[in-house]
Amino acid sequence: MAALCAGIGASAIALGRPVPERPAATVLAAGSRVSVGAKWRVRVDTVKRGEPLVAVLERAGVPRHEASRVLLESQAIDARKIRAGTTITSTVNPDSGASEVVLQLAIDRLVRFTRSAAAASGWIETEETLPWTTDTVVVGGVVSSTLTGAIAQSAAAFPSAVRNEVAYALADILEYRVDLSRDLRVGDSIAVLMERQRAPNGAVRPGSVLAARLTVDGRRVETMRFAQGATASYFDGDGKSMRAAFLRAPLAFRRISSVFGLRRHPILGTVRAHQGMDYAAPRGTPVRALGNGTVIFAGWKGGYGRVLEIRHPNGFVTRYGHLNGFAPGIRRGTSVAISRTVAFVGSTGLSTAPHLHFEVLVNGKHRDPRVALRNVTGEPLAPGQRATFVQLKARLFALLDSPPANTRSAPSVASGGAGD
C-alpha cells in the first residue's frame, strides 16, 4: 500500500503543472512570507527650522526618553547648534523602532548612534570623518564681462553652485597685484590649475589654487602656491611674494562705476579732474585700509562728505570719501593694519548714490591708483629656495598648460611643494 501511494504521488508530480521559478524580488515583496529582516526600512529626514533635535529623533523612531538621554550624553553633538536642513538617516523596524540613526553634520562628518543593550543610554555614539579624494583640474577661459562670468563658463569640472568660489579664491590671491573689477578687459585670458576634492557621497568642492596665469590689461600675471616648511603662500613667476605693502582695491566685493581722468561731475555738471576712482557698492559695505598706516583725518570735508585719510610709508596717502560712517576706534592718530575695516560705504557730500570715492596721493600729488599701486611688489624668496621653486614652477605650469579636460593626482605636498 505504501509503495502504491508513493507511485501515485510521483505520477501526480510528473503530470501536474511545473512549479514556476520566482525571482528574489518577488519573494521580498511577498508580504507575510518575507523574513523578519525584510521589515527594516531606511528613512531620510531633515531638521526643520526651529525644530528641537529630540523631536526629529523621535520622528526617526527613537523613543523620546531615549532621545533626550542620548543627546544629553553626546560628546559630538550640541543639539542647540544643529542647523536646519541637517540630514538624518535612520534604519527602522515598524515593530521595534530604530536600530541606527546617522546625522550628517557636514559633507565629510557623520555622527552615528547604534542601539546597544550594553550602553547605559541604550545607544552607542561614534563619530566618523569621511575621506575626500583629490585630483587637479585646469579651469580656463576668456573674459567677456567679469571674472566670475569667465570662470562660470569654463569651470565644468565643478558644480555651478560652487564655481563662484573658484573666482573668489583667485581674487583673494591676486588682491595685492590685480584689481579684478577694474583691470580686466574683454578678451583677457585666465587659466587656473587647482585641486578638485570629491566626497564619498559624490559631492565636489574646489580645493587650493596651485597655479594661475592671467593676461590682464595686456600684461601677464603668474602666481603659484609654494610651501616653506609647514606653511604655504603664493608667489609670482619671479619668486616674489604676492603679498605686498598695498592691496589693489579698498573693497573686497566691488564694481567700479567711473575711472581716473576727466569726467562730467554728476551734480555740478562741470567737466573737472576726477582724481581717483569710484566703486559702486551698497550702503554699509566695509571699506578696507589699503596698507598699514596712521589715520590723519576722519571727519567731514565739503563735497567728499565723511572722509577718511590714512598716511602710509614712502609718502603714500589714501583717501576714502562719501562714507556712511567710520569703523569703531577709527579716529585721528589711530594705527591701522592692511585689510582692516576702517569705514563703510555711504552717499554723503556731493553724491548721487551709495559708492566709495577713492584716491591715492604720493608726496602730496594725486596719482592714478591703477598706476601708483601696480608696481608695489612683495619680498623675494630666499636664495636657498630658488632651485626648489624653479623645479616646482616647471611642474605646475606644465600641468596648467595641459588640455583643460585632463585631470591628475594632486601634486605632492612634500617640502617645497604645493601642500599646506
pLDDT at 274: 52
Q: What is residue 47's DSSP assignment?
A: P
pLDDT at 97: 76
pLDDT at 94: 73
Q: Where are the domains of the chain?
A: 38-129, 133-244+379-409, 255-372
H or E element that contains 299: strand 293-300
Domains 133-244+379-409 and 255-372 share a fold: no
Number of H helices, E strands in the chain: 8, 23
From first to last of its 420 residues, the chain has per-residue pLDDT tens of: 455 455 544 444 444 444 444 443 333 334 334 344 456 788 888 888 888 888 888 888 888 888 888 888 888 888 888 888 888 888 888 777 788 888 888 878 889 989 888 877 788 889 888 888 999 999 988 888 778 888 888 888 888 888 888 888 888 899 898 887 777 888 899 999 999 999 877 888 899 999 999 998 788 999 999 998 888 999 999 999 999 889 988 988 544 344 434 344 444 444 334 578 888 888 999 999 999 999 999 999 999 999 999 999 989 999 999 999 999 999 999 999 999 999 999 999 988 889 899 999 999 999 988 888 876 678 899 899 999 999 999 999 999 987 654 455 555 543 354 443
> What's the pTM value of the predicted model, to 2 decimals?
0.67
- At 214, list the grid cell: 592671467
Q: How far apart are CA 359 and CA 300, in angstroms?
A: 16
Q: How far apart are CA 295 and CA 262, in angstroms?
A: 28
Topology (CATH level 3) of domain 133-244+379-409: Nuclear Transport Factor 2; Chain: A, (3.10.450)
pLDDT at 209: 95
**Sheet containing 219-228: order of strands:** 231-236, 219-228, 204-216, 189-198, 133-142, 408-409
Per CATH, domain 38-129 is 3.20.20.70: no
Sign of dihedral through CA atoms 386, 225, 213, 249?
negative
Beta strands at 219-228 and 204-216: parallel, antiparallel or unpaired: antiparallel
Per CATH, domain 255-372 is 2.70.70.10: yes
Which residue type, as a one-letter code, is found at position 286? P
Cα 116 versus chain centre, distance: 39
Residues near 205 by Cβ (< 8 Å), separated by ≥ 6?
107, 158, 162, 165, 196, 197, 199
What 3-state class would DSSP assign to 384? helix
Residues near 243 by Cβ (< 8 Å), separated by ≥ 6?
176, 233, 234, 378
Q: How far apart are CA 35 and CA 25, in angstroms?
A: 13
**CA geometry: angle at 346 spanning 344 and 351, to 5°?**
150
Cα 196 versus chain centre, distance: 12
